[in-house]
Amino acid sequence: MKIRRASVWLFERRLDGHAWNPAFRWTRRHAPLLVLELEDGVRGIGEAWSRYTDAATVLKALDAVAAHLAGRVLDHPSEVWEQGVLDGRAQADWAGAAAWSAADMALWDAFARGRGEPLWRALGGCHAQAPVYASGGLYRDDYGLDGLRDEARGYREQGFGAMKMKIAGIPRELDLLRVAAVREGLGAQAGLWVDAVNQLSVQGALDFWRALRPFDVSAMQSPLPPEDVEGLRRLNGSGLPVIVSEAEYRHDEFLRLLDAGAASLLQFCLTLCGGFTGGLRLDGWAADRAIPSTPQCFSTSIAQAATLHFAAARPNVVSAEFHGFHDHLRGLYLPGTACIDDGFACAGTAPGLGVAIPEPGRQREGSIIRRVSEARA
């Protein structure tokens, strides 16, 4: 397959600023995108991870990747990321890792679209059902405990069997009231994870975990910064199941966490860790160590669809993130994609990712996709 055109786009959406987590307040969301067109006219789309206030660095990296790809002839979509790892470019820095991840995702999408099959099948899966949890429970200025309880109840009624919520942004006794409200809304049988956004100390995490016992919380995401491998190992070995590490891109660091016993669940983001090819590698490492994986996602329907296909294809995935707040570009889902039922989301049977490739300009939800650059063969 020959790539004749590579286009870099930027998705942008303004948010009202009422929702926040312990690290920052959401006033906007942007997502760098890469669209690849093959010689036969088939297109594929991929999304790159970006920092909350820095899309420019990723766009610069995507420009370089697009120029590198235009005119390339490939036998398989995994070749680009694998070559990028070999020559050191795919994991040289976080922005480069994000750009190469978008390229891998777009190539897999085009590959599956060209074969007329859904991506979960192209990845070796045998069904379209992905285990998922509803991701929400942010801090909000516009509703209190009643609103949080209703949010959790709404996820249950939509068909989710589990939820993840934010903690560690306010005093613990107030956070415990929030957890109690979520548990009431979810019901006794639903799974519940909490995300501390790297805000706790080892002792603080242990104290918080003990306080959470009445609410049947089953794991804590990011209690400490990911570089504190020893602290995470201590927590994970003490009976606090640790989920790490969503913002990591270096595969040797994932391996260090796994080998140290610092993770009960391995978390990675396909838009940062190398797309599908990188995710397959990480999930394989985790499976070899009998550690389940849980792909992270908090962006547009492009990344969400990719996460669903991966989770459907990989039996080691225990549950994938399905975001209730960052649900941008939902109008792109093709029929049958992202439907929730009894704790699973359907990745769909449409070719590729199961999303329509948009045109630049104003989108249905009021967001904008802007064309940034283009490289041709």
Query: Do 154 and 300 fall into the same domain?
Result: yes
**For each successive 10 residues of the chain (377 residues), what is the average pLDDT?**
97 96 93 98 97 92 97 96 92 96 98 98 98 98 96 98 98 98 98 98 98 98 96 98 95 97 98 98 98 96 98 98 95 96 98 97 95 97
**How many folded domains does the chain comprise?**
2
Query: Do 111 and 125 fall into the same domain?
Result: no
Query: Do 112 and 126 fall into the same domain?
Result: no
Are 123 and 152 in contact by the 8 Å Cβ rule? The answer is no
The confidence score (pLDDT) of residue 69 equals 97
Task: Indicate whether 82 belongs to any domain.
Answer: yes
Query: Do 213 and 264 fall into the same domain?
Result: yes
Are 220 and 245 in contact by the 8 Å Cβ rule? The answer is no
Tell me how far apart the alpha carbons of residues 162 and 186 are, in angstroms, rounded to a whole number.
8
The confidence score (pLDDT) of residue 300 equals 97
The confidence score (pLDDT) of residue 53 equals 82
The confidence score (pLDDT) of residue 52 equals 82
Query: Do 107 and 134 fall into the same domain?
Result: no
Whole-angstrom CA distances from 153 to 33, 159, 185, 255 are 34, 10, 4, 37
> What SS3 class is residue 164?
strand
Task: Indicate whether 352 belongs to any domain.
Answer: no
Task: Indicate whether 353 belongs to any domain.
Answer: no
> Position 195: which residue type?
D
Task: Indicate whether 351 belongs to any domain.
Answer: no
CATH code of the domain in which 292 resides: 3.20.20.120
Instruction: Print the domain residue range for 55.
Output: 3-116+359-376
Burial bucket for residue 286 (CB in 10 Å: 0-12, 13-18, 19+): buried
The confidence score (pLDDT) of residue 13 equals 95
Query: Do 184 and 310 fall into the same domain?
Result: yes
Tell me how far apart the alpha carbons of residues 74 and 63 are, in angstroms, rounded to a whole number.
19
The confidence score (pLDDT) of residue 163 equals 98
Tell me how far apart the alpha carbons of residues 19 and 325 are, in angstroms, rounded to a whole number.
9
- The token duo for 4 is 């004749």
The confidence score (pLDDT) of residue 275 equals 98
Task: Indicate whether 229 belongs to any domain.
Answer: yes
Are 36 and 106 in contact by the 8 Å Cβ rule? The answer is yes
Query: Do 149 and 244 fall into the same domain?
Result: yes
Query: Do 336 and 372 fall into the same domain?
Result: no
Tell me how far apart the alpha carbons of residues 239 and 354 are, in angstroms, rounded to a whole number.
39
Query: Do 127 and 108 fall into the same domain?
Result: no
Task: Indicate whether 331 belongs to any domain.
Answer: yes
Task: Indicate whether 203 belongs to any domain.
Answer: yes
Whole-angstrom CA distances from 279 to 81, 187, 216, 265, 350 are 11, 33, 30, 14, 22
Task: Indicate whether 192 belongs to any domain.
Answer: yes
CATH code of the domain in which 7 resides: 3.30.390.10
Query: Do 16 and 163 fall into the same domain?
Result: no
Query: Do 290 and 198 fall into the same domain?
Result: yes
Are 283 and 317 in contact by the 8 Å Cβ rule? The answer is yes
Query: Do 237 and 326 fall into the same domain?
Result: yes
